[in-house]
A and B are shown apart, each in its own frame.
Chain A
Amino acid sequence: MAESALSRLRPYREVLASRARSQTSYRASFVLDLVSSLLIGVVELAEVSILFHNVVRLGGLEFSQILLVFGLADLCFSLADMTFGHCDNLPAYLRAGTLDVFYLRPQPLLMQLVTSDLSLRRLARALVGLVALVVGLTINDIAWSVPHAVLLGLAIVSGYATFAAMFVWAGGAQFFLVEGAETTNAFVYGGRYAATQAASVWTRPLWVVFGFFFPMAFTAFLPAMWLLGVHEPDWLPHWLGWCAPVAAVWAWALALLSWRWGVRHYQGGGG
């Protein structure tokens, strides 16, 4: 039977729509959730701005420039957190037996996991990121051109994809790690923290972990540097800002491998 792509997506849309409805149905508590989420974003921005209360330049960058990095990273992370954030809570699914129920449906396991939930409240935090991004784009002297606009678009999409991959990687890893939440948090939420920073201050070990292995520097810092026309750090080629999509593909390769291993481990064998 020939099924159109849209009709095949129908069950996923139904579940997501119902989750969205159920979250917004309790108006008061949803508003409270939005406020907390907004506050988290504000506090994170405050932490960055406090540093610049004390110094003028960090890692060769001024606050207005860091704002661009922060905005881009936090926007992408919040959107990824909204749609994929529940994936790193795998132990809860295992305890409830939900994963076994996934096995009994004629759909891929990972698709079911990803579409099983979403957190609308993180939109408020995304707002903070968006505002920082817009401010960062306007107050800096960016030599706007078509390539600049293209890079910005690529960076946002790739950043979202990279952070989404981190959540999936974490989910797969938690099949193995007992009480693995803190270990994966180190790289998922540590990764977020890293992505909002001026990576030019990083030591080499940090570049290995958050620059290339979990490519956090590619989500915001390197694209921002290209947009701003700032060559930091000077030992890396300036055009790396265009490699954000490559980083996203790499991140997803890691994520899918981790998921595959995790599922195999759960099923108890190499097939």
Chain B
Amino acid sequence: MDPIIETGGLTREFRVRSGVRRHTVLAVDDLSVRVEPGEAVGYIGANGAGKSTTIKMLTGIMVPTRGSVTTCGLRPVQDRRRLARQVGVVFGQRSQLWWDLPVRESFRILAAIHSLPSTAARERTDELVERLEMADFLATPVRQLSLGQRMRAEVAAALLHSPRLVILDEPTIGLDVLSKQRLREFLVAERRAHGTTLLLTTHDMGDVERLCDRILVIDRGRLAYDGDLPGLSRTAGAQRVLVVDLAEPTADLVAIAGTTHLGSEGHGLRQRLSFDAESTTVPRLLASVAERAEVLDLTVEEPDIEDVVRRIYAARR
């Protein structure tokens, strides 16, 4: 089967002027990647690592300096308009909707833009409205929507023409926990139903864990990791942290299997334990702690993307 995305030695240089001198910056450096139809790929990296530049080259907004890129079997720059019919993009920061129009109008215009026959368009719109629970605000102008509502509308807009590939650029940024969860569930269901390929750039490990079965890490323009999530945690050695609030001051909870005790506060009322996915799970860990003390409350801190990326980079050296 033809890959949905294939890049070979993809490179993008920028000439930057700092003061008087000019030097070249490699925003994307020799990126060779192959994404098969139906995959869900997380594309992570620090800010300025080259994620948006890659997406711009995948969609034809930017011309590569060197190397090749094929999206849905088409050349993004030369076949941009044909490609646009097969790709849907959701920008977290930029809107594809018409700001002062009701949401419903934006969908109508987009259906016309993609030349969707009216019955098919109506059915698809109804389907998306129902599954993303947008019926309440269909008549509201986009600029009056909350962030959560707007993101749902953007996702619907990107999926209206049933594209083969959906690219999401920081889609859950700024959303509350409930909205994030609902959006993720929708994307998972959509993939299952239509076999849509997903490419997701994000800073949120939660997105990565729940949505992606493959992860690409980009660091300063170069591909630092290409594999699955367990492999990533293993390679990075990144750890999650369980923070427990106990009922009574307790001695440090050291020597619980698979954890490292990081610290205690308030004479042992709050304790921090780091662990990794390989050695134990949260329920098992919680059980071990509960054997020793009564737990009032708990939090799990995720390793942040920058931390993982830093570790990857260090591991590569």
Interface residues of A (CB under 8 A from B): 1, 3, 7-8, 10-11, 14-15, 18, 22, 96-98, 100-101, 103-108, 267-271
Interface residues of B (CB under 8 A from A): 12, 14, 56, 59-65, 77-78, 80-82, 84-85, 87, 89, 91, 93-96, 98, 100-101, 105, 108-109, 112-115
Report whether B84 and A106 are in contact in the complex, using a CB–CB cutoff of 8 Å.
Answer: yes
Pick the contact of A3: B78, B87, B115 (CB < 8 A): B115
Q: How far is the CB of A91 from chain B (nearest CB, A)?
A: 16
Task: Please give me the residue from chain B that is nearest to A109 by CB atom.
Answer: B80
| Given A104-B89, A106-B81, A106-B114, A269:B63 Cβ within 8 A | yes
Pick the contact of A1: B87, B96, B112, B115 (CB < 8 A): B115
Q: How far is the CA of A249 from the CA of B62 in the complex (A)?
A: 30
Report whether A104 and B87 are in contact in the complex, using a CB–CB cutoff of 8 Å.
Answer: yes
Report whether B81 and A268 are in contact in the complex, using a CB–CB cutoff of 8 Å.
Answer: no
Write out the residue numbers on chain B whose beta carbons fall within 8 Å of the beta carbon of A8. 115
Additional A-B contacts beyond A7-B115, A18-B101, A18-B109 (6; CB < 8 A) = A22-B101, A101-B94, A101-B95, A106-B113, A268-B14, A268-B65
Write out the residue numbers on chain A whose beta carbons fall within 8 Å of the beta carbon of B56. 100
| A-B contacts, 20 listed (Cβ < 8 Å) | A1-B115, A10-B112, A11-B109, A14-B108, A15-B98, A18-B105, A97-B94, A98-B94, A101-B95, A103-B61, A103-B84, A104-B96, A105-B84, A106-B82, A106-B113, A267-B62, A268-B14, A269-B63, A269-B64, A271-B63
Q: How far is the CB of A27 from chain B (nearest CB, A)?
A: 16
| Given A11-B109, A22-B101, A103:B94 Cβ within 8 A | no
Write out the residue numbers on chain B whose beta carbons fall within 8 Å of the beta carbon of A22. 100-101
Q: How far is the CA of A147 from the CA of B8 in the complex (A)?
A: 63
Q: How far is the CA of A242 from the CA of B199 in the complex (A)?
A: 57
Write out the residue numbers on chain A whose beta carbons fall within 8 Å of the beta carbon of B98. 15, 18
Write out the residue numbers on chain B whose beta carbons fall within 8 Å of the beta carbon of A105. 84, 113
Pick the contact of B59: A3, A7, A14, A103 (CB < 8 A): A103
Most buried by B among A18, A22, A106, A267: A106
* 10 pairs of A and B residues whose beta carbons are closest in the complex: A269-B63, A97-B94, A11-B112, A106-B84, A11-B113, A10-B112, A106-B81, A14-B109, A103-B61, A267-B63
Task: Please give me the residue from chain B that is nearest to A15 by CB atom.
Answer: B109
Write out the residue numbers on chain A whose beta carbons fall within 8 Å of the beta carbon of B95. 101
Q: How far is the CA of A3 from the CA of B96 in the complex (A)?
A: 25
Most buried by B among A96, A100, A108: A100
Q: How far is the CA of A17 from the CA of B289 in the complex (A)?
A: 64
Report whether A267 and B101 are in contact in the complex, using a CB–CB cutoff of 8 Å.
Answer: no
Q: How far is the CA of A8 from the CA of B115 in the complex (A)?
A: 7
Q: How far is the CA of A267 from the CA of B112 in the complex (A)?
A: 27
Report whether A104 and B77 are in contact in the complex, using a CB–CB cutoff of 8 Å.
Answer: no
| Given A97-B94, A106-B81, A106-B82, A14:B63 Cβ within 8 A | no
Q: How far is the CB of B22 from chain A (nearest CB, A)?
A: 15
Write out the residue numbers on chain A whose beta carbons fall within 8 Å of the beta carbon of B84. 103-106
Write out the residue numbers on chain B whose beta carbons fall within 8 Å of the beta carbon of A97. 91, 93-94
Write out the residue numbers on chain B whose beta carbons fall within 8 Å of the beta carbon of A7. 115
Write out the residue numbers on chain A whose beta carbons fall within 8 Å of the beta carbon of B14. 268
Task: Please give me the residue from chain A that is nearest to B82 by CB atom.
Answer: A106
Q: How far is the CA of A1 from the CA of B146 in the complex (A)?
A: 39
Q: How far is the CA of A14 from the CA of B101 in the complex (A)?
A: 11
Pick the contact of B78: A96, A98, A271 (CB < 8 A): A271
Pick the contact of A100: B94, B108, B114 (CB < 8 A): B94
Q: How far is the CA of A108 from the CA of B80 in the complex (A)?
A: 9
Task: Please give me the residue from chain A that is nearest to B117 by CB atom.
Answer: A1
Pick the contact of A104: B12, B59, B65, B82 (CB < 8 A): B59
